[in-house]
A = this chain, B = another copy of it.
Amino acid sequence: MSVKVTIYEVALAARVSLATVSRVLNNPEKVKPDTRERVLKVIKELGYRPNAIARGLASRKTTTVGVLVSHITRASVAEMLGGISDIAMKYSYSIKLFSAHEDVNIIELINDIVAEQVDGVLILNDELDASRMKKVKELFDENEIPFVLANVVNDDRSVPSVSIDYEKAGYEITKLMIEMGKKDIYMLSTVRKYSVNDKKELGYTKAMQEANLMPRVFRTSGTTSVNRQHFANFFADKIIDGAIGVRDSIAVSFMNIANESGRSVPEMVSVAGFQNTKYALLSRPTLTSIDIPVYDIGAVAMRLLTKLMNKEQLDSLQVVLPHYIVRRESL
């Protein structure tokens, strides 16, 4: 039935020209109601769906956005894609997914994305230093493709982005511990440098310094099984009464080891994490965590991108979504 029906066959059956069929679909108000109805009827009967590729070539708009993801296997990526796809669907955009590995040349990849003729691009989770950021911006600008950073740390005010204030979040959770009387608070971060984690550390450090306390960052590999040894060895001879993990999983991992080595949480050590994932709910004690609205970051970024693609006027290119601390047993 609906095998490869083209606009030509619709036109024939409705006794109009191709142009009219196209108008019915794209500018219905320009077509006389009678004709419009007749054409729509035929479209339905034949199960006609315009070939998106042909349409893309002719109109030079593909109604497709590229989503460039680094660390695609992360759980939060799925959450963010959920937000992106819900909004994309609402505005009838398709999503093309591009995964950036550590070793791929991001500039090459972006050239590929450009060649795919997307109308806009979302960049998730990436680590773009200033010089690469500049190059990325040039590439997109040259090709007049709007793009939005989602959950990426970025200090260039001319680049549209949606994120949360990680530095402030780091500051607040540290401050909270300090106000509870904690003095030997560690930040548990990752060996590999993530700009998001840098911001958290920055906030932590600021709060510690303001209180005349010594900021101390401990870096783990991030692998749970490895953390175990790291934590146990490192903290064996240390004084510690507070710990903030840059991820919930790191916080929980630390908490388990603390409890096992007789430093009970929260009595002796307060612990907090970032992201407010299910880990925080399933751990014992349950974990205090900073809630990051990942789904919303995706949704808002996609929404912002639609505005840019429509060349709408915007008051601000930078959206900072609110975060909040979810208090639980660990603190």
Contacts A49-B111, A75-B75; is A143 near B284 (CB within 8 Å)? Answer: no
CA of A259 to CA of B77, assembled, Å: 33
Q: Does A296 contact B (CB under 8 A)?
A: no
Q: Which residues of B contact A115 (CB under 8 A)?
A: 49-52
Q: Does A180 contact B (CB under 8 A)?
A: no
Segment of A10-18, A165-173, A274-282 engaged in the interface with chain B: A274-282
Q: Does A95 contact B (CB under 8 A)?
A: yes
Q: Does A310 contact B (CB under 8 A)?
A: no
Q: Which residues of B contact A51 (CB under 8 A)?
A: 57, 115, 117
Q: Which residues of B contact A56 (CB under 8 A)?
A: 53
A279 to chain B, nearest CB (A): 6
Q: Does A74 contact B (CB under 8 A)?
A: yes
CA of A77 to CA of B78, assembled, Å: 6
Q: Does A191 contact B (CB under 8 A)?
A: no
How many chain A residues touch B (CB < 8 A): the figure is: 57
Q: Does A256 contact B (CB under 8 A)?
A: yes
CB distance B4 to A143 under 8 Å?
Answer: yes
CB distance A82 to B78 under 8 Å?
Answer: no
Q: Which residues of B contact A72 (CB under 8 A)?
A: 78, 81-82, 85
Interface string of A1-28 (1 = CB under 8 A from B): 1111000000000000000000000000
Q: Does A229 contact B (CB under 8 A)?
A: no
Interface string of A51-72 (1 = CB under 8 A from B): 1111011000010100100001
CA of A48 to CA of B57, assembled, Å: 17
Q: Does A89 contact B (CB under 8 A)?
A: yes
Q: Which residues of B contact A224 (CB under 8 A)?
A: 278, 281-282
Q: Does A45 contact B (CB under 8 A)?
A: no
CB distance B78 to A112 under 8 Å?
Answer: no
Q: Which of B4, B79, B97, B249 contacts A73 (CB 8 A)?
A: B79
Q: Does A156 contact B (CB under 8 A)?
A: no
Q: Helix, strand, loop or mixed for chain A's interface?
A: helix
Q: Does A102 contact B (CB under 8 A)?
A: no
Q: Which residues of B contact A77 (CB under 8 A)?
A: 78, 81
CA of A95 to CA of B142, assembled, Å: 25
CB nearest to A143 among chain B residues: B3
Q: Which residues of B contact A142 (CB under 8 A)?
A: 1-3
Q: Does A99 contact B (CB under 8 A)?
A: yes
CB distance A97 to B97 under 8 Å?
Answer: yes
CA of A249 to CA of B111, assembled, Å: 41
Q: Which residues of B contact A75 (CB under 8 A)?
A: 75, 78
CB nearest to A224 among chain B residues: B281
A232 to chain B, nearest CB (A): 15
CB distance A282 to B54 under 8 Å?
Answer: no
Known contacts A49-B112, A85-B99, A282-B282, then 10 further A-B pairs from the complex at CB < 8 Å, ordered by chain A residue: A50-B115, A52-B116, A53-B62, A54-B57, A73-B79, A78-B81, A85-B97, A95-B98, A224-B281, A282-B283
A-B contact pairs, 8 of them (CB 8 A): A2-B142, A3-B143, A52-B115, A53-B116, A74-B78, A94-B97, A252-B282, A256-B284
